[in-house]
Structures are given as C-alpha cells and as structure tokens.
Structure 1
C-alpha cells in the first residue's frame, strides 16, 4: 500500500505540532501497534526529546504573544520535521521515493504552519488568554486524533487533513485584517521599547539686569 496518505497527514500534523507527531508515531511503532513507523522514530532518545519538547510547546503555545514567538522560531523547524518524517516513512515502506516524500511532507507542514501561526496572530489581537488556551488544546487534540487515525486508516485521515488544511487557509484569508492589525501593534511596541533620545528643550534666556 502507498505511504503517500500517511506522509501527507503527518506533514499536516507536523505543521501544527511536530513534536507530537514524532512522539505519537514513535510510541505506535515502539509498542507494535504499527509496522509502518521507521526505527529511527522509535529510539528511546528520540522519544524522550520529543516528549520534553512537546511539554514545552504545550505550555508556550497557550500564552498570548509567547505562542506567536514560538511559532516564529518554528517556521523552519516544523517544515523540516515534516520533510524528515515523510522521508523516513517513505524509506520504511519503499513505495515512494524519499525525495518526493520529503517534499510532500515539508510543503504540507509549511502550509499548515502558516495557518497555525496566522490564526494565532489574529487571536492575539484579543487581550484575554482563554482563546489561546482553547485553540491550543483543540490543536493538540486534533493532531493526536488525526495521527492515530492515520496509522490505522491513512487514506481517510489524509482526506480529513486535506479538508482541515483547506478550511484553515480559507479562515486565514478572512482573518488577514486582524493579523495586519496585530503586526502593526507589535511594531509599535518595539518602537516604544527603544530608548528614545529626547532633544533638550532650549533653556529660557536669562533676564538681563534692569535698566
């Protein structure tokens, strides 16, 4: 069976939470629930590192503005993770070239990362943290569910991931106004934090002796 659906789904999920994807796939492989997981993802050191980083993301992803900074750092990490996982899956099955799988996984991860990061920018225009916590929790549950579903039903999971990606891109377009407002506010905060050199006001001329 072609590994393409699993590569696509893991790419989409990596763009949302790459560490959760590595951790879940590794656990499924290590416990024998799936034979499609490459040994590299089942290594103990990989699972420990993925687990620790997943916990870090679980916290950072729920704090307003910190989540956007975290997303900015992971603009490279998530697509690379999607590409690497895709290439490893392809190498395990042999039904798809590593290069093609890496390209598919990386591109899909980049697209879903753009949706996640853009949506967070829009959410951060609201000062309350409840929206961030609710959205982050929904993303964690969604990634866990879609990855677990993909292990047993890869084609159906790929269709679901494609629908979620399309909906996310559509929402991102609608939220672009709020995102631009957020970027302007962040730029203003940076300007305010810079030490402003105030020009000295000219001193009042001293009055001469009375004539």
Structure 2
C-alpha cells in the first residue's frame, strides 16, 4: 500500500458558498464579492482572519485569488490586528480615530477582496467586482464611522460599547448568512444599503447644521 494513498481518500474541499446545486456559479461569486466588500467596511481584520482560517484549517475552498489569505503571515498579522481592533473599537473617540485612519485601508481592501473572488473569471469581471466591493466597503465604513462619531457626543461610554458589540454581532450574523444562505444575505444586504444611504444623508445634514454660520440678529 502506498503511504500517500490516504490522501486520495480525503474529501474534496467544500466550496465557500452552497447554492444547493443551482447553476448559479457566477451569481454566487457576485454575492460573495458583495458580501466581502460589505464586511470589509465593518470588520476588515476579522474577515481576513476568518477567511484565512476557513481555507487553512476548515477544509474550505477559497475562490479566485483568496487563497493567499491562508498564508501563515497573513493569518498571524490579521489575528493581531483583529485583537487590537476589538478593544480600540470599544473606547470612545479612539474608535473614531481608528475609523478615520482605516478609511484608507478598509475601502481599498474591500475592493481587493471582491476582485480576488473573481480571480478566475477574467480581468473585466475582476474590475466590476472590485468596484462593487469598494463601493459597499465605502458605504458601510462611512455609515459605521458617522454613527459612532454621533454616539461619541454622548458623555457616557455605555452606548459606545453596546454599538460596538452590535457591530460585532452584525458582522458574525452577516458572515454566517453569506456562507449558508446567500440569497437571504443578498436581500438583507439590499435592506442594509438602503438604511446606510438614509443614515449617511441624515448624518450629513446634521454636520451641515452644526457648521452652518449663525445669522446675526438684525440691528435697528
């Protein structure tokens, strides 16, 4: 018996998304690209670590160019940054500083991850996926950062911590739904986008009202 015969009996890696046999391979990749863009704007390091761990230890087949996330250095660095972000995100005003710095990281990372999903689908599809992922990362990041900045105007820290744990729960729930029920995730993402757009508009109006020059009373 060949010592390596046991390798041939191992099951093939499971795909990251399961559409229950539906012939929607490109559609499933598009939902995955959109989901990674959304998650990048919310919890980038947790996303990178989770994907890398699933590919490295969970027997999951990462599509396109995402296989690089299973590298030891990527796993180690993303795990370290995940640990730092978990605590930084729960400290008032430090979370807004963290969000401000990560404006230049989450958005391009979301675009890169979404494009990586389409690594085997051609350059044009990669560009489209990158634009989709970057746009969703930007919208999610702006809604998150704006909401947290508004919450930080409150003197008590409890609301900030609750908001951070709420984002953690949203990220974990969204990721689980993306991997197990992509169709439901797509519907939920549509609702989230509509809510995020409305929130960004309200926050923008609030900021404009704060910085609008006050009219001086007319003198007789």
Tell me the TM-score range normalised by the shorter chain.
Answer: 0.7 to 0.9
Aligned to 1:19: 45
Match of 1:6 among 17, 20, 32: 32
**Is residue 72 of structure 2 the alignment partner of residue 34 of structure 1?**
no
Query: C-alpha displacement at 1:177, in angstroms?
Result: 5.5
Whole-Å separation in 1 of the counterparts to 2:62 and 2:180: 10
Whole-Å separation in 2 of the counterparts to 1:122 and 1:54: 24
1:32-77, CA deviations, whole angstroms, 9 ceiling, x for partnerless residues? 4532342111112111111111111111111111111111101110
Q: Which moved more, 1:141-150 or 1:125-134?
A: 141-150
1:81-102, CA deviations, whole angstroms, 9 ceiling, x for partnerless residues? 1011111111156697221111
Query: C-alpha displacement at 1:107, in angstroms?
Result: 1.1
Which one has a bigger Cα radius of gyration? 1
Unaligned runs of 5+ in 2: 1-24, 213-220
Q: Give TM-score, length-normalised by structure 2.
A: 0.75
Does the CA-based 8 Å contact 2:44-2:106 persist in structure 1?
yes
Aligned to 2:184: 156
RMSD: 2.3
Unaligned runs of 5+ in 1: 185-211
Q: Which moved more, 1:84-93 or 1:32-41?
A: 32-41
Match of 2:100 among 55, 69, 72: 72
Whole-Å separation in 2 of the counterparts to 1:127 and 1:181: 21
